[in-house]
Amino acid sequence: MDANIGVLALQGNVSEHIDAFLLALERTGHGPSSEVFEVRSPADLADCTVLSIPGGESTTISRLIDKNGLYEPIRQFKGGIFATCAGMVLMATEVADPRIHPLGLMDMVADRNAFGRQRESFETDLPISGLDGGSFHAIFIRAPVVTWADPALNVLARLDQGIVAIEQGKHIALSFHPELGNDTRLHERFLKMNGI
What are the catalytic residues? 85, 177, 179
Enumerate long-range contacts of 151-160, CB under 8 Å, 24 or more apart: 152/107, 153/106, 153/107, 153/108, 154/129, 155/129, 156/128, 156/129, 156/130, 156/131, 157/126, 157/127, 157/128, 157/129, 159/124, 159/126
Q: Which residues contact 29 (CB under 8 A, 6 or more apart)?
A: none
| Residues β-bridged to residue 52 | 7, 82
Give the phi and the psi of residue 52 in degrees, each rounded to 5: -115, 130
